[in-house]
Amino acid sequence: MRDRGKRRAGERGKRVELSSAWLQWLVAGAGHELMLFASVGILLIGIDDLLFDLLWLAMPRKAPLPPGAESRPLGGRIAVLIPAWDEAQVLPATLGRMLAAWAGEDVRLYVGCYPNDVATLFSVSTLVARHPQLRLVVGETDGPTTKGDNLNRMWAALGEDERMEGRRFAAVVLHDAEDHVHADELALYRRHLGDHAIVQIPVVPMVTGGSRWIGGHYGDEFAEAHGKELALRSRLGVPIPSAGVGCALTRSALALLAIERGGQPFRADSLTEDYEVGMLIGAYGLRSCFVDSLSAAGDRIVSRGGFPGTVEHAVRQKSRWIAGIALAGWDHLGWLGARFSGGGASSGQVWLARWMLWRDRRSPLAALILLAAYLGLIVTGLALAGEALLGWESRPLRPEMRLLFALNAALVLWRLAMRVHFTARWYGTGQALLAMPRAFVANVIAILAARRAVVLYWRMLRSGQVLWEKTEHQDGEAIPRRREIRS
């Protein structure tokens, strides 16, 4: 009996050892493959970012432009297009700020509403009755549709006004229903639209105490993107994307797109119609510029606005951006080679433009790499716990993996340093210090948004419907909400 018990105990011990060995092999193998994939991906994207940063550093530094820097100002009336759906809480205040800031300017504000959005219509009716500069455009169909469709309706109303009044608009400015505009913004556009078809100014997210982490990461990203990315693209002479706010286009440039699209310059079936407009205008060989300028008072001329303050809402908004730019935008724009080269661009500029498109579209791949990196860290932690608690055999890193990790660590530190630098320029030292831990928040949101963007894009392909997630604004915070329209 004792011998039988010993044999059974020995057999159980062997099974435990085999199970432990199998688990150790699985954990070690999974951890190695995940970390290898993530490390190679981080290295490639890190080198891509480093090359871009070195190019930015090599370009001669330019201070923000003083007032009156351009010598060919654009005259004529300016139209401001403001699409609105369910914006009763913020739109009256926004229109009031615009009217006050641009008093004396030759400008007309077009507000695009829907017949079934009674609250918004009533909220602005008093302002429209009092101010001839306001033009309310109510579509024939109920809303919401897409933002591109709303903009097209205002474009049609603009054309009707031109025919009735016998006077042509000179430029069109894009803004959202919650934006905080600058008093010198229109004057800046006039100075630069004489030589350019599209002008984009910096967009500055409003970082409040209640959205320090989620809303704050938008501030970090826009500070770097509009402090470096768009600035370098503009100076390289490649197409720059429109942010949809703080953006001005000559009427002639929009008319060119309207001719190509049957009278409608904005794609009604796009999630990111603003991005596509900016890229197409540049691809046609028309000049684009990003302007970081100072007012006479010494402050920057920027467009400010609220952004989502919760993970759920940030994921919804960013998934729309990823689906529209990285996935559907690929279908709509291709790689711009034929259009851009047809506009007189050199082969070098064509390849630079394609490089920028790659950078815009790499977000799903970057999210996959980040997911693999975090999963690899978790599995590596399990392996270390197994070594400490179960006596698993430790596996030292090979020299090439050590070198790969060291290179990646240097690239990550460089990336964090750049993020901190640009955040400090826009928001000060306090927010710059928070930019480092907020990078983890940004990564998590990017991973979740990329997954959701793929699902969103797949549904669009299967159903033929554009799933537009409109952003509702309350008390300075943006809250995306999904709406559907058949394309």
What DSSP assignment string belongs to 179-242?
A: -B--TTHHHHHHHHHTT-SEEE--EEE---GGGTTHHHHHHHHHHHIIIIIHHHHHHHT-----
Helices (H), 298-428: 311-322, 328-333, 337-342, 347-361, 363-389, 399-427
Listed residue (49, 40, 24, 50) closest to 372, CA to CA: 40
ω into residue 115 within 30 of 0, thus cis? no
Q: Which helix (H) or strand (E) is 129 found in, with range?
A: helix 118-130
Q: Burial letters for 328-365: b for 16+ Cβ neighbours within 10 Å, e otherwise?
A: bbeebbebbbebbbebebeeebbebbbebbebbbebbe
Domains of the chain with CATH codes: 77-312 (3.90.550.10)
Tens-level pLDDT at each residue, the chain (487 residues): 455 555 554 545 444 454 566 666 677 778 888 999 999 999 999 999 999 999 999 987 665 555 555 557 888 999 999 999 999 999 999 999 999 999 999 999 999 999 999 999 999 999 999 999 999 999 888 988 889 999 999 999 999 999 999 999 999 999 999 999 999 999 999 999 999 999 999 999 998 766 789 999 999 999 999 999 999 999 998 999 999 999 999 999 999 999 988 899 999 989 999 999 999 998 888 999 999 999 989 899 999 998 988 999 999 999 999 999 999 988 888 887 656 655 566 788 888 999 999 999 999 999 999 999 999 999 888 877 776 776 676 677 788 889 999 999 999 999 999 999 999 999 999 999 999 999 999 999 999 999 999 999 999 888 877 766 666 555 455 444 444 333 3
Q: Burial letters for 303-322: b for 16+ Cβ neighbours within 10 Å, e otherwise?
A: bbbbbbbeeebbbbbbbbbb
CA distance 1 to 374: 51
107, 80 in Cβ contact below 8 A?
yes
CA distance 181 to 469: 24
CA distance 185 to 299: 12
- Helix then strand then coil, in percent of the chain rounded to 5, is 60, 15, 25
Q: What is the dihedral of CA 98, 99, 101, 104, to 10 degrees?
A: 140
CA atoms within 13 A on the CB side of 221: 16
DSSP 8-state symbol, 278: H
Q: Given this model, what pLDDT does residue 30 score? A: 81
Residue spans of beta strands (DSSP E) within 119-166: 134-138
Q: Given this model, what pLDDT does residue 484 score? A: 38
Backbone angles phi, psi at 116, to 5 degrees: -95, 5
Q: Which two tokens stand for residue 211?
A: 């959205």
Q: Given this model, what pLDDT does residue 348 score? A: 81
Listed residue (176, 141, 156) closest to 486, CA to CA: 141
- Number of C-beta neighbours around residue 445 at 10 A: 22
86, 57 in Cβ contact below 8 A?
no
- Number of C-beta neighbours around residue 124 at 10 A: 22
Q: Which two tokens stand for residue 307?
A: 């952004």
Contacts 24+ apart (CB under 8 A), 294-301: 294/64, 294/65, 294/66, 294/67, 295/67, 295/182, 295/183, 295/184, 296/67, 296/184, 300/64, 300/202, 301/182, 301/184, 301/185, 301/188, 301/201
Find the farthest-apart pair of alpha carbons in the chain and give their distance in angstroms, rounded: 110
DSSP-based three-state secondary structure for 74: coil
Q: pTM, whole model, 2 decimals?
A: 0.88
Residue 3 burial (10 A CB sphere; 0-12, 13-18, 19+): exposed
Give 462's contacts (C-beta < 8 A, 6+ positions apart): none
CA distance 207 to 216: 5
Q: Given this model, what pLDDT does residue 16 score? A: 45
442, 415 in Cβ contact below 8 A?
no
Listed residue (118, 113, 119) closest to 135, CA to CA: 113
Could you give the C-alpha distances from 344 to 227, 284, 338, in angstroms and in order? 28, 9, 10
Q: Given this model, what pLDDT does residue 340 score? A: 64
